[in-house]
Amino acid sequence: MPGVTHPQARKAMEKRIAEWKKNEARYQSEPETAEGRKELMARAIAAEKKRDVSLAAYHNFELASAAVQIAIVLASAEVITGVAALVWASCGLGLVGIAFCAIGLFWPTAVHLF
């Protein structure tokens, strides 16, 4: 403000600059409403972690669903053909499906296949 010589104009400009600095500080961090840049970044990071865990659980549930569906098909094929090996394969895939369901439920990030 070197060109401002009038005292009232200088005072008004200093007041305006102080308000702008106050707003800038509020935009950076506003703990009362949790809407400042720092608080929003913390919330965004927490939401990303939750999203990643949910996506990992989803993939495990998809694998579990596929294994159980194939186990059902193999069990149905055994009923038609009478081949006992299909029962064992069906039981094995059923256990794999149960295992992936448990992994998705309790430890969703333990297995990374995708």
Total structural domains within the chain:
1
Residue 65 lies in a domain: yes
Give the pLDDT confidence score for residue 108 in this predicted structure: 93
For the segment 16-35, the average pLDDT, to the nearest whole number, is 87
Q: What is the pLDDT of residues 59-76, one digit of tens each?
A: 999 999 999 999 999 999
Residue 67 lies in a domain: yes
| 88 falls within a domain | yes
Length of the chain: 114
pTM for the full model? 0.69
pLDDT at position 6 over 90? no
Domain that holds residue 75: 56-106
114 falls in which pLDDT band (50, 70, 90)?
low
Q: Where does residue 82 fall: left (phi above 0), alpha (psi -120 to 50 degrees), or beta otherwise?
A: left
Does residue 94 fall inside a structural domain? Answer: yes
Q: Which letter does DSSP use for residue 33 in this model?
A: T
> Is residue 13 in a domain?
no
- Residue 21 falls inside a structural domain: no
